[in-house]
Chain A
Amino acid sequence: MTVSQVSFGSHEPVLDIKDLTVKYIGDTRSTTAVDRVSFSIGTGEVFGLAGESGCGKSTIANSIMRLLKDPAKIAGGSISFGGKDVLAMSPEELRRFRWQDVAMVFQSAMNSLNPVLTIGEQIVDIYTTHAGYSRKESLRRAGELLELVRIDPARLKSYPHQLSGGMRQRAVIAMAVALKPSLLILDEPTTALDVVVQQEIMAQIKELQRELGFSVLFITHDMSLMVELSHRMAVMYGGRIVETAKAQDVYTHPRHPYTQALMGAFPPLTGPRLPLTGLPEGVKFRDIPDLTEAAPGHLVAPFAADPAALSGTSAVQPAPLEGATQ
């Protein structure tokens, strides 16, 4: 599979994944959760990974961090980070690699804070363990860190339950960037948050990214959010990537029917009210072939061009619904 190296910032990829395959091995049968997935992320680039629950996007994130546990097993492929082979790292190397090189904000991360330690103790812990600073120095840096995400440093003495969901999420993001990693993995960072808070968190991440210049692997099912934030993105289905291109290209010209269905799931806020069609119930894509280049930098998995093959898909001609005044 060829993967476009069009990246923003630098052509030197920070993260390079080739033909990654992850299997969940069961007693009687095993499931391939990630199937020959390849992509790379350039320096300072925001790369989005879209797809619905169960498509394997979180498994990829966990593979990069080497967090997969039995029964999950990396069955093939390679992950290289800044030229180093992640899959061959020793436990000691992994310890340094995690958090210093790659940090991750987990899904519902705001619940991943330790409820019996104050925010300050948890941040200080990062500095004393990974960076070897003194306690006093760590505390000073922890205060700066909270200021970076616009939380009052007085909150260092607060316990997680004393903060709102949005503040906890900010604190978690602050902790993720504490050691200035070169790659930040965001796994559905805003799913549990309200739309106003979500917008503020995303703005915060963008701003931090501009300031600190790290690369981002951004995982979500919200296509609108992804297109707004990412430079390049890939759409996953059933463990395979079905389409990858610049985010704007995917937004304006989604080619794969699955991408089109995902795009259709988010009605626009402007323009006339057009009828949208999602993916009909029961439509499944099987044996998705390797990506081919449909346009420069725009790779799509070939699919059956005949809409009848997608049972129930009717070619609906978009016609404005009633009251299309705007």
Chain B
Amino acid sequence: MSNAILSPSVPPAGLQDPALEIRGLGKTFPIGGLFSRQSVRALHDVDLSIGRGEIVALVGESGSGKSTLARCVARLEKPSKGSILLDGVDVLKRDRFQVSRSYRSQLQMVFQDPFGSLNPAHRIEHFLRRSLAIHHKGGRSEDATQRRLEELMTTVGLQADMLNSYPHELSGGQRQRVAIARALAVEPQVILADEPTSMLDVSVRIGVLNLMRKLRDEQGISMLYITHDLASARYLADRTAVMFAGELVEEGESLDLLANPAHPYTQLLVSAVPDPARAGSYDPIRRAELRQAVLASTHCPFDGDPAQPCSAAEPVRHHVGGPANRHWVRCHLYRPQAGSGGHALATEPVTAPPAKTGQPASNPTEQKTSA
């Protein structure tokens, strides 16, 4: 694709042989009636790789395409184009029509809603036993299966006697742990976790994040952590990728990305996170400018740098802070074409007047009320 100009689609040194690699993935959904040719572009040209034992966070607002990406990778949706490489094998070519069992045993998904993803009619044991049986991971004897079940429960921090409980007897956090245990039962290399904590009570969320980190540390499982919560992405993930309107706009080491966000959309997201520790408070003019820059950027900070060409027509990736820093940002001049998936910024008309740069910054209230 066109973003080969500066695209690090070849992973940088130290990250050879990624566990999961997504190349140029695109997905369009047809809309309108049976004979309609209209379509919505939910994903466009997404390149993302997850190294072995690496946790990558995918952040963005609702409608940005995060979950579509996960569903495509889990092969619950059929991607319109692009390729998915697991262990270097193009799975879309290998299993052209239907997902294979071996793919499922390598890649598992943890869903957002632990209340909906566990069948209320079965005991916890059923879910784990079924995973073990389908993928032949239960061992040869009943004893071995039983041991494995108890081991799984211990791994996710649950009592083994909960195997006999029904889902409704467990709290949300415990249910999500069961969902994680179910994914672990098949010994996957990659886990896709789609907002695994957003339905949980706040006091147990961090426990689930800690469990995910522990699994990575102890079993070397790679994870794609999908969230809209930047703070938890920073807490858990090694790298963070920001998605906007179906395209990745910025990616880098989590700490570096959130400390030095380069794309106006990332800056807008970061500035919107409530953080009592932050010194500066809400500046409406700055935010209106950022909003404007996201929707209609007029310049790119890398404009004029001969080493990093800009383009308004093609997505160009600029490196931020030197080549050793694995942090890139998409050129600000380039915007996704019309017809890409909806996002909150686009549906929300800019009700505030576009901030005039000449306006005195000392008078924010007047600027806001004069709308």
Contact = CB atoms under 8 A, between A and B. Distances in A.
A131 interface: no
Contacts of B61: 194-197
A273 B235 contact: yes
A326 B270 CA distance: 15
Determine chain B's interface SS by DSSP, over half rule: helix
A276 B271 CA distance: 23
Interface centre among A166, A206, A278, A326 (most CB of B within 10 A): A278
Interface residues of B, number: 54
Given A203-B282, A275-B210, A278-B204, A225 B347 contact: no
B203 A199 contact: no
B226 to A, nearest CB: 14
B18 to A, nearest CB: 19
A164 B348 contact: yes
Given A196-B344, A276-B235, A269 B278 contact: yes
Q: What bracket does the count of chain A residues touching chain B fall in? A: 35 or more
A269 B368 contact: no
Given A197-B344, A326-B255, A281 B234 contact: no
B349 A265 contact: no
A53 interface: yes
A118 B123 CA distance: 49
A188 to B, nearest CB: 12
Contacts of B201: 52-53, 221
A325 interface: yes
Contacts of B255: 273, 323-326
Interface stretch (A1-9, A80-88, A133-141, A144-152): A144-152
Given A194-B62, A277-B206, A207 B348 contact: no
B203 A279 contact: yes
Contact of B275 (A247, A262, A270): A270
B278 A251 contact: no
A280 interface: yes
Given A207-B365, A273-B234, A326-B255, A278 B206 contact: yes
Nearest to A150: B351
B253 interface: yes
Contacts of B204: 265, 278-279, 281
B345 to A, nearest CB: 7
A200 B291 CA distance: 11
A288 interface: no
B228 A269 contact: no
Contacts of B282: 199, 203, 206
Contacts of A202: 274
Contacts of A248: 276
Contacts of A200: 272, 287
A198 B177 CA distance: 29
Interface in A138-188: 147, 150-152, 164-167
Interface centre among B229, B272, B345, B347 (most CB of A within 10 A): B272
A160 to B, nearest CB: 14
B202 A269 contact: no
8 contacts: A164-B344, A195-B61, A196-B344, A197-B348, A247-B276, A269-B234, A270-B277, A279-B207
Interface of B: 61-62, 157-158, 171, 173-174, 177, 201-207, 210, 228-232, 234-235, 238, 253, 255-256, 258-259, 268-278, 282, 284, 287, 344-345, 347-349, 351-352, 365, 368-369, 371
| Shortest beta-carbon contacts, A-B, top 10 | A199-B272, A267-B235, A278-B206, A227-B276, A150-B351, A194-B61, A279-B203, A224-B274, A52-B201, A225-B274
Given A197-B61, A269-B230, 8 more contacts: A166-B348, A167-B348, A200-B272, A203-B282, A266-B202, A267-B232, A269-B258, A326-B256
Interface of A: 52-53, 147, 150-152, 164-167, 194-200, 202-203, 206-207, 211, 221-225, 227-228, 247-248, 251, 258, 261-262, 264-271, 273, 275-281, 323-326
